[in-house]
Amino acid sequence: MDTARPVFPFTAIVGQEQMKLALILNVIDPKIGGVMIMGDRGTGKSTTIRAITDLLPEIEVVQDDMFNSHPSNIELMGNNVQELLKNQTEIKTKFIKVPMVDLPLGATEDRVCGTIDIEKALTEGVKTFEPGLLAKANRGILYVDEVNLLDDHLVDILLDAAASGWNTVEREGISIRHPANFVLVGSGNPEEGELRPQLLDRFGLHAEIKTVKNPELRVKIVEQRSQFDQNPYKCIDEYKEQQEILKQKIINAQKILPKVTIEYDLRIKISQVCSELNVDGLRGDIVTNRAARAYAAFESRYEVSIEDIRKVITLCLRHRLRKDPLESIDSGLKVEKVFSKIFQFNFSVEEISS
């Protein structure tokens, strides 16, 4: 009997297309750099984020390993497994669900990064490492709710680990380094304050979630939630086919992503948009290129089109326009206007208002 807590099906979530797309693109290509989801209370942010893990294929890990080490990829394995490989020791593996780790708001640096037992190291000469949340999140998703209320120092640590794929713990001259390759997902309510522009810029994508205004849509959302609460397994069963179709689409996209190309002319135009919007640094250019390729792969195509860039460019750039911490984040109109001018592409009235 399955004792796992039932999760609301991802394909049953009504609306919030920006947030769903941002999450899908990140699981197709984790190098996009995570996503920051800002929106009103009660708009299904946590539900959607937890639902994405059900769509991901199981991963092969080394048995009894604290870092969910990959059995053959050095970038995704701890030092112990590397030693076993060097010594040609047989490695036992198992398949697990993609880890989904929640970072509590009051977490300390030790809880996040892990700790070294100094006493044992000095008396017995043994490096004993107590893994933190970054170790548990390796090859998975690390979710930080209310990330805008988290201490800036901790946000820095998370972003550094997410960007490098490694976490280093140092204490009294003893150092331990382990893989921490995860998709960082942050969420928050803009009423409680925004992240500093320097930190915000390091999130690959930024999705803005608004409360649904359409009464019929609101009723549909409420009914779906009620049905799930009353009989979760029946609701999961109803969406089983749709979940499987989307799951296969994501698996296929992950496979073809390395073969997806983007023309030089389109790359030039992406950089023109970033330059005209006065985006600092080159992160905006890099992320837009990556996200456009991931979207093309999601649509089972090997070449990026203007339409693919249009779909992702607002998610990639809107949060990079804010230079002053007191400014509000662009709704996307500024990005769309410059994109239309450079790519000679016209947005419909409905698209702009949505």
Domain boundary at 165, 195, 218, which? 218
Q: What is the DSSP letter of 13?
A: -
Structure tokens at 212: 């649904």
Compute CA distances 151 → 46, 161, 200, 221, whole Å.
20, 16, 14, 34
Is residue 264 in some structural domain?
yes
Structure tokens at 228: 């799930």
Identify whether residues 206 and 260 lie together within a single domain.
no
Do 163 and 64 touch, CB atoms closer than 8 A?
no
Do 332 and 318 touch, CB atoms closer than 8 A?
yes
Alpha helices in the chain (DSSP H): 17-28, 45-52, 79-86, 109-113, 118-124, 133-136, 152-164, 197-200, 215-230, 232-238, 240-256, 264-276, 283-298, 306-317, 333-343, 349-353
Do 274 and 285 touch, CB atoms closer than 8 A?
yes
Mean pLDDT per 10-residue interval, the chain, length 354 residues: 71 85 93 88 80 86 87 84 83 88 86 80 69 90 86 85 86 80 87 76 87 81 84 88 93 95 95 92 93 96 95 92 62 85 68 43
- Torsion-angle region of 281 (φ positive above 0: left; ψ -120 to 50: alpha; else: beta): left
Instruction: Count Cα neighbours of 339 within 13 Å in the Cβ-side half-sphere.
Output: 25
| CA–CA dist 85, 79 (Å, integer) | 10
| CA–CA dist 220, 74 (Å, integer) | 47
Is residue 26 in some structural domain?
yes
The SS3 call for residue 40 is coil
Is residue 80 in some structural domain?
no
Do 9 and 235 touch, CB atoms closer than 8 A?
yes
Identify whether residues 201 and 149 lie together within a single domain.
yes
| CA–CA dist 285, 291 (Å, integer) | 10
**Residues with a known catalytic role:** 283
- Beta-bridged to residue 213, according to DSSP, are none
Q: What does the pLDDT read at residue 120?
A: 67
CA torsion 23-27-31-33 (nearest 10°) is 20
| CA–CA dist 43, 14 (Å, integer) | 11
Instruction: Domain count for the chain, please give it.
Output: 2
Rounded to a whole number of angstroms, the CA Rg of the chain reads 21
Residue bearing tokens 């809107």: 318
Is residue 39 in some structural domain?
yes
Is residue 188 in some structural domain?
yes
Q: Which residues lie below 8 Å from residue 220, measured CB to CB, with a gap of 6+? A: 14
Structure tokens at 3: 């004792």
Q: What does the pLDDT read at residue 285?
A: 95
pTM, two decimal places: 0.86
Identify whether residues 184 and 298 lie together within a single domain.
no
Identify whether residues 179 and 277 lie together within a single domain.
no
Identify whether residues 261 and 190 lie together within a single domain.
no
Q: What sign for the dihedral angle of Cα 53, 58, 61, 64?
A: positive
Identify whether residues 203 and 277 lie together within a single domain.
no
Q: What does the pLDDT read at residue 290?
A: 96
Q: What is the CATH number of the domain that holds 181?
A: 3.40.50.300
Q: What does the pLDDT read at residue 78?
A: 83
Q: What is the CATH number of the domain that holds 289?
A: 1.10.8.80
The distance from CA 103 to its chain's CA centroid, rounded to whole angstroms, is 14
Q: What does the pLDDT read at residue 254?
A: 94
Query: How do strand 174-179 and strand 166-171 relate by DSSP bridges?
Result: antiparallel
Is residue 192 in some structural domain?
yes
Q: Which residues lie below 8 Å from residue 125, measured CB to CB, with a gap of 6+? A: none
Identify whether residues 210 and 263 lie together within a single domain.
no
Identify whether residues 151 and 45 lie together within a single domain.
yes
Identify whether residues 202 and 145 lie together within a single domain.
yes
Question: Which amino acid would we find at residue 220?
Answer: K
Identify whether residues 314 and 169 lie together within a single domain.
no
Identify whether residues 112 and 183 lie together within a single domain.
yes
Is residue 92 in some structural domain?
no
- Torsion-angle region of 276 (φ positive above 0: left; ψ -120 to 50: alpha; else: beta): alpha
Burial class of residue 264 in the structure, from the number of CB atoms within 10 Å of its CB (0-12 exposed, 13-18 middle, 19+ buried):
exposed
Query: How do strand 174-179 and strand 100-102 relate by DSSP bridges?
Result: unpaired
Identify whether residues 319 and 208 lie together within a single domain.
no
**Boundaries of domain holding 279:** 256-353
